[in-house]
Amino acid sequence: MIFADLTNGLTGMKREITAELYAFLGQIDLRIKAFDRCIEVVFRANAACQRIARICGVGPETATAMNAAVGEGAEFKNSRHLAA
């Protein structure tokens, strides 16, 4: 790690800040992984999400977000209104 190398010219304060930021990014990464697991559970339980994910390039995250935002889509007259 850059903050562990005592010969790289970083000051003590820069070394400390870098180490704290690195630890913080690790915590964020863990939270993102937990959210991804939750999204995967919702995706697997929802047939509509799985249908949306059949579109090339659409994965569980996009499919569940689209399903959450649009739902059944009954409030749209047609696909162009949805796209707009």
Q: Distance (Å, rounded) from C-alpha 84 to C-alpha 68?
A: 17
Overall pTM > 0.85 = no
Residue 69 tokens, joined: 């935002």
Contacts with 59 (C-beta within 8 Å, 6 or more apart), sequence order: 53
Residue 1: pLDDT band with limits 50, 70, 90: low
Taking only the tens place, the pLDDT of each residue in 9-57 is 788 888 888 889 999 999 999 999 999 999 999 999 999 999 999 999 9
**pLDDT at 73 (0 to 100):** 80
Q: Where are the domains of the chain?
A: 1-40, 46-84
Q: Specify the long-range contacts of residues 2-8, CB closer than 8 Å, at least 24 apart.
A: none
Among 18, 14, 58, 62, smallest CA distance to 39 is for 62
Among 58, 73, 68, smallest CA distance to 38 is for 68
